[in-house]
Amino acid sequence: MKPRDTLTVDLFDMVVVPVARTPKPGALDINMQFRHVLSDEIKKSPKSRHEIAARMSELLGHEVTKHQLDSWTAESRDGWRFPLEYLPALEVALETHELLTWLASIRGARLAVGREALETQLGKLEHMKGELRKQEAAIKKLLVEQE
């Protein structure tokens, strides 16, 4: 009897991964939610809106004003949208990762920062090493069986 090839995936051994659900129309219109999260994070900061705007201006290399911050967070200022390219500067100014964490959660993702990111990467590497050890053992076994 021929030994089973453990390196080739059998059709019936495949793992079925559920397909991500497609959001319903309009479900990702996060305008008002984002304004609230943005406003809440600014309120949590010990810095004034003037200080936040000044720090953002410094980081971006062009002026951001308190008036802009007010307009981006006001529900009544629908024509004003927070520019995504300003997000890193805002988070540095606020000393937080909460906005990115919130945005990631909308898509079912999770933000890992600093030590947590390194530990996550280390866990992935450990898993990969284990998988490589299994493949190595399977290949060695096949070589022994073919002698």
Q: What is the pLDDT of residue 10?
A: 43
CB 94 within 8 A of CB 52: yes
Greater confidence (147 vs 103) lies with 103
Greater confidence (12 vs 142) lies with 142
Q: What is the pLDDT of residue 18?
A: 45
Give the model confidence (pLDDT) of 25-77 as tens digits. Answer: 888 888 899 999 999 999 999 999 999 999 999 999 999 999 999 999 998 99
Q: What is the pLDDT of residue 44?
A: 96
Q: How far is CA 78 from CA 64, 75, 106, 128, 145, in A?
A: 18, 6, 21, 48, 71
CA distance linking residue 24 with residue 2, whole number of Å:
51
The amino acid present at 105, given as its one-letter code, is S
Greater confidence (85 vs 20) lies with 85
Greater confidence (1 vs 73) lies with 73
Sorted by sequence, the CB contacts under 8 Å of residue 111 that are 6+ apart come out as: 97, 100, 101, 104
CB 70 within 8 A of CB 57: no
Greater confidence (18 vs 54) lies with 54
Q: What is the mean pLDDT of residues 10-28?
A: 59
Q: What is the CA radius of gyration of the chain?
A: 25
Greater confidence (11 vs 45) lies with 45
Q: What is the pLDDT of residue 3?
A: 52
Give the model confidence (pLDDT) of 76-134 as tens digits. Answer: 998 899 999 999 999 999 999 999 999 998 888 888 888 887 888 888 899 999 999 99
Q: What is the pLDDT of residue 7?
A: 45
Q: What DSSP string runs through the chain?
A: -PPP-SSSPPGGGPPP-PPPPPPPTTTT--HHHHHHHHHHHHHHSSS-HHHHHHHHHHHHTS---HHHHHHHH-TT-TT----GGGHHHHHHHHT--HHHHHHHHHTT-----THHHHHHHHHHHHHHHHHHHHHHHHHHHHHHHT-
